[in-house]
Amino acid sequence: MMKDIKTVSILGCGWFGLPFAKKLIQLGYQVKGSTTTPTKLATLAEENISPFLINFTTERISADPVFFETDVLFICIPPKRNSTELNSYPDKIKSILAAAKDKTKKVVLVSSTSVYSDENLIVNEESDTNPDTDSGKVVLAAELLVKEYRSTDYAIIRFAGLIGPNRNPGRFFAGKTDVPNGLAPVNLIHQTDAIGIACKLLEKQAFGKIYNACAPNHPTKMEFYSAAAKESGLIEPTFITEKKDWKIVESLNVPKYLNYDYVESI
Q: Is residue 159 part of a domain?
A: yes
pLDDT at 224 over 50: yes
Per residue in 198-209, pLDDT (tens digit) is: 999 999 999 999
Is 238 domain-assigned?
no
**179-192 as b/e: b if 16+ CB within 10 A:** bebbebbbbbbbbe
CATH number of the domain encompassing residue 132 = 3.40.50.720
* DSSP H helices in the chain: 17-26, 41-46, 83-87, 89-100, 134-150, 191-204, 221-231, 253
Beta bridge partners, 248, equal: 122
- Domain annotation covers residue 174: no
Q: Assign 42 a pLDDT band (cuts: 50, 70, 90).
A: very high
Among 258, 264, 169, 153, which Cα is nearest to 211's?
A: 258
Would you say 130 and 229 are in contact if contact means Cβ atoms under 8 Å apart?
no
Answer yes or no: is 36 within a domain. Answer: yes
Domain membership of residue 158 (yes or no) is yes
Task: Count CB neighbours of 150 within 10 A.
Answer: 22
CA distances from 138 to 5, 79, 196 (A): 30, 8, 26
CA 166, CA 175: separation in Å to the nearest integer? Answer: 19
- Does residue 196 lie in a domain region? yes
Which residues, in sequence order, are CB contacts of 98 under 8 Å at separation 6+? none
Q: Which amino acid, one-letter code, is at 62?
A: S
Q: Is the pLDDT of residue 85 over 60?
A: yes
Examine the pLDDT at 80 and tell me if it is beyond 80: yes
Residue whose C-alpha is closest to residue 209's, from 125, 122, 101, 120: 125
How many independent structural domains does the chain possess? Answer: 1
**Structure confidence at residue 264 (pLDDT):** 95
For the cut 80, the answer to whether the pLDDT of residue 59 exceeds it is no
CB-facing half-sphere around the CA of 169: CA atoms within 13 A: 19
Beta partners for residue 239, in sequence order: 179
CA distances from 54 to 15, 69, 103 (A): 17, 14, 16
Give the domain range for residue 136: 7-165+189-217+247-258
Over residues 179-186, mean pLDDT:
98
Domain presence at residue 239: no
pLDDT in the model for residue 1: 46
Query: What percent of the chain stands above pLDDT 90?
Result: 90
Say if pTM beats, i.e. exceeds, 0.85: yes
Residues 89, 115: Cα–Cα separation, whole Å: 15
Helix axes 89-100, 134-150, angle to 10 degrees: 20
Q: Which of 22-36, 80-94, 200-214 is the least confident region? A: 80-94
Report the mean per-residue pLDDT for the chain: 95
The whole-number pLDDT of residue 2 equals 56
pLDDT for res 58: 64
